[in-house]
A and B are shown apart, each in its own frame.
Chain A
């Protein structure tokens, strides 16, 4: 019985991922991250312009994240909720949000440390391999906690992509950008396939269904 309850709870949380919109948003985000970084590396920028772009980088990502959030909400309101219903999730209590922020901060620090120091310096592993492994682990965590099967496939692909990119003959900075772009494409494909499957499997509600 308890297993069934847990299964229903996981499925309810997993509803956020049912239409592939979250994947698409993440794919677009990684795409924006890669594009911005590519422009910074390849454009012949003056010292001032380079500084402005470096300062604007986090603002650009926050703006992208906000924009994709709006886009996901709009699509869900106009497609998903009209087909399979509306759900609003419980906002986490303040204590829980603070705990998650601390865990997120520590994880971010560990990830940064792994990519810049632990991997390349201690274990002599290319930093793109570390990025691939860490992002793959995050994807695996999302798959387990939300019960999203397609993410179980995406996680090893991300890890493999890190390893494959490390074997390419290119500048280290370009390798990281290329990996971001590849991971973005992975998320976009995952989202597109999920979205098409969702559209095929469901239909808009008839009058009076709500």
Chain B
């Protein structure tokens, strides 16, 4: 692998690239909003792990979390911000570019 390819790989948004956060980001990019239960169910993570990944994405400004009550039960709704959507699109474009370069030799 030459320096240019290596540099491309290093420049990939690691916050999104981490497998669990990539699953969460992809889901939230696809929908308007999803609750904690859905993300827990689909990601297969533990509650603690999911919470920690969501917090990292929230701190980066990629997602927003709203806590509310529904039928007297707490519900956490997550949605992706414009910054997050743009970061996710950049990540996909950059990753595709790297894959193309790697496949092209």
Q: Spell out A's residues near B (CB within 8 Å).
A: 1-2, 4-5, 8-9, 11-13, 15, 81, 84-91, 205, 207-210
Query: Which B residues touch A86, using CB under 8 A?
Result: 34-35, 37-38, 75, 77
* Structural contact, A89 and B31, CB atoms closer than 8 A: yes
Query: What is the number of residues of chain B that contact chain A, defined by CB distance less than 8 Å?
Result: 28
Q: Which residues of B contact A89 (CB under 8 A)?
A: 31-32
| Most-contacted residue by chain A among B42, B77, B96 (CB, 10 A) | B42
Q: Is B54 an interface residue (CB 8 A)?
A: no
| Contact (A2, B37) CB under 8 Å given A12-B30, A90-B31, A91-B32 | no
CB of A8, distance to nearest CB on chain B (Å): 4
Q: Is B99 an interface residue (CB 8 A)?
A: yes
Q: A2-B92, A9-B26 are in contact. Are A210 and B37 (CB under 8 A)?
A: yes
CB distance from A116 to the nearest CB of B (A): 39
- Give complex CA distance A11, B33 in Å: 15
Q: Which residues of B, 33-82, contact A by the 8 Å Cβ criterion?
A: 33-42, 70, 73-77
Determine if B22 is an interface residue (Cβ-Cβ < 8 Å). Answer: yes
B99→A1 contact, CB < 8 A:
yes
* A88–B41 CB distance below 8 A: no
Bound-complex Cα distance A4 to B37 (A): 21
Majority secondary structure, A binding face = mixed
Chain B residue, CB-CB nearest to A13: B30
Given A12-B31, A85-B41, A88-B31, CB of A210 within 8 Å of CB of B96: no
The interface centre, meaning the residue of B23, B26, B30, B40 with most chain A CB atoms within 10 A of its CB, is B30
Query: CB-CB < 8 A to B92: which residues of A?
Result: 2, 5
Which of A5, A84, A88, A209 is close to B26, meaning CB atoms less than 8 Å apart? A5
Shortest Cβ distance from B98 into A: residue: A1
16 A–B pairs (Cβ distance < 8 Å), ordered by A = A5-B22, A81-B37, A85-B39, A85-B42, A86-B34, A86-B38, A87-B31, A87-B33, A87-B38, A88-B31, A88-B34, A90-B31, A91-B32, A210-B36, A210-B70, A210-B76
